[in-house]
Amino acid sequence: MIGDWEHGHWGIIDTEGNFVIEPIYNQLGNFHIFSATERVMAVSDDSRRSVEFFPLRLGEKWGVLDRDGIEIIPFIYSEIVIFNNDLARIVTGTWEDGNRLYGLINLRTGEEVISPIYNSIGFPSQGLMEVRIGDWESGHSGFIDESGTEVIPATYHFTHGFVYDMAIVGFGGDWSTAVWALLTEKAAK
C-alpha cells in the first residue's frame, strides 16, 4: 500500500514496488488478509498471507478492486466494509440525508446478497449478524446468516452478537433500563 497524505491519493504496490493499483484513490478501506495458495502476493512478501480484495474510495463513493486492479464492485456505495473473502457490508445514503441503509454483497460475484434495507448490520459472529430495522429508539433487532436469511426475527429492542452460542438481547426501555437476557439460536426458534 502506498499513500500520499498531503494530496490524498492511495494505491497498492507489490513486493517489487510495482503498482498493482495506481494511486488515484482518495481512501483505502480495510482489506482482508487470508492464507493463500493463489496467484500473486500483494502488499506483503510473507508467503503465508495475501490480499484478495481492496475497498477504495474514489471521490465520495466506495467500490472494490481485486488484486489485479480490476473493478469487481462499482463505485456507487457510501461505505464498504469487507467481512471475509466472500462477503462485505455495503451502505447507501448518508447520516446527513437520513437514508443510510445497510446490505450485503458477494465479493466473488459482485451481486448484492441483500439490498440495502436495514438500518444497521453488525459484524459476523458465529455465522450470524445483528440487523436493525428502524432507529435506535423505536426500532427492533434480530439476526441474519451470511446468505441474508433471517434466522432470528427482529423482535428485540437491543441485541449483541453471538459468542459461545449465545447472544445478549434486551427488551424495553433504553440500554440502561432494558431487561436483558441470554438467547441461544435454538431457543429463538
Which tens digit of pLDDT belongs to each residue from 119-169? 999 988 888 999 999 988 889 999 999 999 999 999 999 998 888 889 989
DSSP 8-state secondary structure symbol assigned to residue 125:
B
Polymer length of the chain: 189
3-state secondary structure of 42: coil
Helix (H) or strand (E) holding 188: helix 185-188
Distance (Å, rounded) from C-alpha 184 to C-alpha 174? 22
Cβ atoms of 151 and 124 closer than 8 Å: no
Q: What is the DSSP string of 4-31?
A: ETTTTEEEEE-TTS-EEEEEEESEE---
Q: 152-166, pLDDT tens digit by residue?
A: 999 999 998 888 889
This prediction has a pTM of 0.81
Record the cell numbers describing residue 14, joined without a space: 507489490
The rounded Cα 67 to chain-centroid distance in angstroms is 18
**18-74 pLDDT, tens per residue?**
888 888 888 888 764 433 333 233 343 343 346 788 899 999 999 999 888 899 999
Domain ranges of the chain: 1-118, 120-189
Give the Å distances, CA to CA, from 48 to 35, 69, 83.
5, 21, 20
| Cell numbers representing residue 56 in the block | 477504495
Residue 32 identity (one-letter amino acid)? H
User: Which sign, positive or negative, has the C-alpha torsion 184, 142, 94, 137?
Assistant: negative
